[in-house]
Structure 1
Amino acid sequence: MLFRTTLSAGFIAAAHALPQAISQISDGQVQVPTATPIQQISDGQIQNPAPTATPVAAATGNYSPLPYSYSQEPYVDSSAVSSAASVAGLPVSAIPGATNAVPPRVSSVVTGVTSHGPYSGTPTTTGAVSNSPAGTAIPALPPNPTALTYNPNGTLNDQQPIPYQPAGGLGTNGTEPVYRVQSDFDYQSILVGLYQEWIELDLFNHILATFSEEEFTEAGLTASDRYLIEFMAVQETGHATLLSNLLGGPGGATPQCTYNYPFTTVREAFDFTQKLTRFGESGVWGFQAHLDSREVAQLLDQSIATEARQQMIFRQFAGLFPMPVWFETGIPQSWAWTLLAPYISECPANSKRLAWQNFPGLNVLNQPNSARWNATQTPLNETVGWGGARPSNSDVPAEDSCVGRNITGEDCSAAISQNRTIPLSYPGREVFLEWENPGKPVGPNNSYITATMAGAPEFVLWVSQLNITYSPLTNISQNGEMWYGQTIQPDVSTYEGDPAINGTMFIALTDADLPFTAFNLSMVNPHVAAGPFLYQAG
C-alpha cells in the first residue's frame, strides 16, 4: 500500500510507522519492549537480542500519522488578515491567499526564562540504540563502475525525456514525492538534526532572556540586532516543525529538552552560538547527500541554508570575519552528536534515543581567543565551560581586549565585517591538546556513554572545507584520567589562495592517517580516539 504525504501551505503531513509498545521508567528514558531481554556490551550500548538464523525483519503493517498534543488543523489568523488588508487598503477578498488556512507550528514562541542547568539524577538506560551490528567498520571498496562511464563532453549523450530536460537525475521521472524518512539511516539522521533544532530554538531565546538591554548595548548591539536574534528563534520553530513532520509527527519525533550552557557574558554567548550553529550546519552537510529519501534531503537543504546564514550572523556579532572560507565542510552524524550531547541536560519521557556514537572529549588548551586583538598570545586554558564548543573567555585584560579597540585591524566589536591584521592562528603554530578516556556519561540524563573503537591516537585530523589533512600527535603523556599531547598546525590549501585551515573548523585524534574525502568521511569513525573539537582557526 502506498502512503502519500502532502504539502499544503508549506506543511508536511508525513506518514509514520506505528511503533512497537514500549515501557517507561521514571527518568524519562525510552526502554526496549519488556518481553525482550537486553544484552549489554562494555561501552553501555543497548543491544537487541543476539541474532539467530532468522535475520532482523523490518517493521511491517499500515502506516499512518499520529496526532500531536495540540490541534494540527490549519487555521486562519483573522487578526493578521485584517492587519494585512488595512495596510494594503484592500478588502480581504482582493488579496490572494489571505484567507488560506495556515498549519500550526510544533512549538509556540517562547517568552521568559526557561529551565536550565545540569542533570542531577541517575540514568537507568545508557548507551546508543543498537541491534547487533554486522561488523565494526565499513570496508573500503573501489568506485562504482557506473560512476566512470558518463562522458562529460558538452553534448547530450542520452535521449531527452521531454524537451528542455536532459536525461538523468533522481526523482525526475514523474513519481509523486513522498516527504518521509525511508530508512533507519534517514530516521536517525533527521532525529539528530531535530535535537539540534530544538537546542537552537532554546539557545536563541535564552540569550535574549538572560542578558539585559544594557549588556547588548555594551557589546555593540542595537534593538534591531536583538530582534534579529528573536526572529532567528522563530525560524527554529519552523525548522523543528519541518523535521518533526519528516519523522512522522509525535510517534517518530522527539520533544524539546532542558539544556545547560557554558557562557556568562554576551560575547561568550555569541562565541558559543557561532560554534554550535557551525556544527549544526556541518552535521547536515555531512549526511544529506546520503539520505535514501531525496525528498527529505530537498527540504532539509532549504532549512540548513537558513542555518548557514545564522552562523554567519553570530560570527558578525562576535566580531569575527563573517565567512573566511570558500566552502563549508560536512561532518559525520556521530561528530555532530558528540559536540551537541554535552549541552543537553535532561529530556522528557517520550524522547527518542539515538544510534550515533559519542566519542571521548577533546580540548585545545591554547584555543585562539577571539576576544584578544592578538590571539596568537592566548595563554593556556582561556576557555570557559566544557565540551567541544566551549567559548573563549571574554574576561581578558583591557590592554589585550579587541572589543571597542577602535584600531583598524585590531577591533573585534560587533560589525558586518572585521578584518584582523593579526590572524587568530597560523601555519606552524604549536597546538596543545588534552583528551579524555572513554566511558564517561554524557548527554540527556547522562544516559549516553563515550566510546571509541580506535587504538592509541597517533595523529590529529583537521577537517575543513573540501579536504582533510593529518599532523603527527607528539609528546603524548598521561596525568590521572587525562591525556596530553601536541601537534603543529598544517599549511595546506584547498585551491591556490584558499588556506584550508581557517574559520571555525574541526579537529579529532585518530589512530591512523587514512585518506578520506568529503563524501566518505564517516568511514573515519572507527579510527577516532577522541574529539571532535571546534578549533578557532580564523
Structure 2
Amino acid sequence: MAPIETFAAMLALASSARAAPFVPQWTASQWTTTVYSEPTPTPSPYAISHHNVTSHGPYTGPPATTTGALSTSVIASSIPPAPPAPQIVNYPADGKLHGDQPLPFTPSGGIGTNGSVPMYKVASDFDYQSLALALYHEWIELDLFHWGLATFSDEEFDAYGINAEDRFLLQHMADQEIGHASVIANMLGPNAPKQCTYNYPVSNVAEYIDFNQKLTRWAEAGVYGFLGHLNSGPAATMLLQSITVEARQQLIFRQFGGQFPMPEWHTPGIPQSWAWTLLAPYISSCPYNQTRLVWQNFPALYILNQPNPARINGSAAWNETTGGYANSLSTAGIPADQLCANASTPGMDCPAAVSNNRSLPLSYPGRQVFLKWDAPGRLVGPNNSYVTSTNVAQPRFAAWLSQLNVTYTPLLNVSAQDRTAYTIQPDVSTWKGDPAVNGTMFMALTDVDLFVTPYNVSLINPHVAALAVYQAG
C-alpha cells in the first residue's frame, strides 16, 4: 500500500495551495491489498516557524502610525433581535425520524454531511478575524510558558510546590502551543499574525501561575464564544481539537495554584471583543505590517477587593492585584502567616495538588465587590496602536458572566467623577446545587440589563463600559 499522508500534512498542503480543495492523495484501489508489510514511516509536516522571544516589558517605541481596530463601513450600531429560524421552531423533537436517511444508520440533516470535500480554511471575515484572535492567544501562551521556566529558578518553583515533573508538564504545554499555532496559521494563510513581544504582570511563581490560569481561561472562553458561529465547519472542527487541550491547561494551572480544578459545571463563552480586550494590554509590540484585528478594546475594570487565591482567607483582600483586566493576584505586602502556601492545616493550605478543598471560600453570595474603571481613550495592545472605547456614558449594572448565565446586579454608590461603585455578589444557581457565580469568570459594567444567552452573548457589547476577570472560586 502506498504511504498515506498524515492529516496534519494534508492540512499543511491545503494551506500552501490556498485556492485548491483538500483532496486525499489515494484511490479506492489502494485499499484492496491483503498482503501485510512493514509500514513506511510517514513524514511529518513541519510545525510553524517560531523562536524564543528575547524582549519582554512594556512598549517603549515611537507612537504608532496606525491606531484603532480594523474597520470598513459599519452598517449599524447594534443588531436588533429577530425570531428564531422556523425549521428549529417547527422540528417536533419526538425521537422519530422525519426525513429520508442519506445512508444506513444515518439520520437526515446536519451540516457538512453531504459528502462535499472539507476545506480546512477560513470562509469569511468573521472566520478570519476570530481565528486570528485565537492565534494571538496561542503565540502568547507559547512564550509565557517558556518565559516562566526561564525566569524563575528551580528553587523558586520547588518552594511553591511545583517540582521537576510539574515543570516538565509546563514545558510540554508550551510545546502543545506550537501545534495549536501551526494549525491556525495554516488555516489563515500567509498573512496570519506572527509572534510578538509581551509584558507580564508577575514577579514571583505564585503570581505567574495565577496569571496563567486567568489567561488560559479567557483564551478558552473566547473560542467557545465564536466556535458555533464560524462559517467554516471544518475550521471549527480543527480549532475545537486544540481548545479542548487549552481547557485542560487551564485546569492544570488552577491545580498548580492550589485551587479546586473545576468548580463550575459549565465553562462560559465570551465575545471576541472581550477576549481581545483582556489580551491586548499584555502584548507590547508586533512585527511591521502585523495583521490587525477588528475587535473592540473596552476600558479596564479594577476589582479593588478581587479575591486572592494566595491568601488563606481569599476574600479578605484589598488592592492585591497586578492591575486591571486580568486582575491577577499580587502577593506584595501580605504577611507570610496569611499566605496559604505557608499553611500546613488541611483546608487552610493550598499546595499544588490534584484537588484542594478550602475551608474559607474565595467569594460568597452577598459579598460587597468594590469597583473602579478607566475612562475610554487609553492606548493599549501591540505598539500602543489600539484605543479603548465604549458607547456607555454611565454604567448602571454589573454583568456576571459565568457558566450558562449572565446575571445583572445594580451598581451602588456610583461616582461618575471618580468612576467608582460597588455591587453585591448575587446568589443565583445555574442548576440546583450549582452556584452560577464560581470559578474564574468574567464581569462587565453595562448601562442596561440586556437579556442574552450563551449563543448571542455578543449582543451585549454595545452596552459594555468596562471589563475584568473575577476570581469567584
Q: TM-score of the superposition, structure 2-length normalised?
A: 0.92
Q: What CA distance in whole angstroms lies between the structure 1 residues aligned with 2:280 and 2:411?
A: 26
For residues 164-189 of structure 1, the C-alpha deviation after alignment (integer angstroms, 9 at most, x for no partner) is 11111100010000001000000000
Q: What CA distance in whole angstroms lies between the structure 2 residues aligned with 1:317 and 1:515?
A: 36
Q: What CA distance in whole angstroms lies between the structure 1 residues aligned with 2:107 and 2:135?
A: 36
CA contact (8 A) 2:305 2:315 kept: no
After superposition, where does 1:19-418 map in structure 2 within 5 Å? 63=19, 96=39, 99-108=41-50, 110=52, 114-121=54-61, 122-248=63-189, 250=190, 252-378=191-317, 380-384=318-322, 386-395=323-332, 396-418=334-356
Q: What CA distance in whole angstroms lies between the structure 2 residues aligned with 1:138 and 1:347?
A: 33
Output the amino acid matched with 2:209: F
Output the amino acid matched with 2:466: A
CA contact (8 A) 2:394 2:416 kept: no
Q: What CA distance in whole angstroms lies between the structure 1 residues aligned with 2:82 and 2:315?
A: 43
Output the amino acid matched with 1:467: N
Please, which runs of 5 or more residues in structure 1 have no aligned partner? 18-61, 66-92
Q: 1:526 aligns with which of 446, 457, 462?
A: 462
Q: SS in structure 1 opposite 2:372?
A: strand
Q: What CA distance in whole angstroms lies between the structure 2 residues aligned with 1:14 and 1:452?
A: 40
Aligned to 1:488: 424
Q: SS in structure 1 opposite 2:340?
A: coil
Output the amino acid matched with 2:266: F
Pair 127,423 (structure 1): closer, same or farther in 2 beyond 3 Å: same
Give the % identical residues.
56
Q: What CA distance in whole angstroms lies between the structure 1 residues aligned with 2:137 and 2:14?
A: 20
Please, which runs of 5 or more residues in structure 2 have no aligned partner? 22-35
Q: SS in structure 2 opposite 1:304?
A: helix
Runs of 4+ in 1 over 2 A off after TM superposition: 5-17, 62-65, 93-97, 107-110
Aligned to 1:517: 453
Once the 2 structures are TM-superposed, how far is the Cα of residue 13 of structure 1 from its aligned partner?
A: 3.3
Once the 2 structures are TM-superposed, how far is the Cα of residue 12 of structure 1 from its aligned partner?
A: 3.3
CA contact (8 A) 2:259 2:355 kept: yes
For residues 148-200 of structure 1, the C-alpha deviation after alignment (integer angstroms, 9 at most, x for no partner) is 11111122121111111111110001000000100000000000000010000
CA contact (8 A) 2:12 2:45 kept: no
Q: TM-score of the superposition, structure 1-length normalised?
A: 0.82
Once the 2 structures are TM-superposed, how far is the Cα of residue 261 of structure 1 from its aligned partner?
A: 0.3
Q: What CA distance in whole angstroms lies between the structure 2 residues aligned with 1:368 and 1:8?
A: 42
Aligned residues: 453
Aligned to 2:12: 12
Output the amino acid matched with 1:459: F
Q: What CA distance in whole angstroms lies between the structure 2 residues aligned with 1:16 and 1:128?
A: 28
Output the amino acid matched with 1:101: P
Pair 487,10 (structure 1): closer, same or farther in 2 beyond 3 Å: farther
206-215 or 142-151: which moved more? Answer: 142-151
Q: SS in structure 2 opposite 1:232?
A: helix
Q: 2:388 aligns with which of 433, 450, 456?
A: 450
Q: What CA distance in whole angstroms lies between the structure 2 residues aligned with 1:370 and 1:204?
A: 20
CA contact (8 A) 1:473 1:487 kept: yes
501-510 or 118-127: which moved more? Answer: 118-127
Question: Is 2:360 the counterpart of 1:419?
Answer: no
For residues 43-77 of structure 1, the C-alpha deviation after alignment (integer angstroms, 9 at most, x for no partner) is xxxxxxxxxxxxxxxxxxx9479xxxxxxxxxxxx
RMSD of Structure 2 on Structure 1 (CA):
1.9
For residues 11-42 of structure 1, the C-alpha deviation after alignment (integer angstroms, 9 at most, x for no partner) is 4334589xxxxxxxxxxxxxxxxxxxxxxxxx
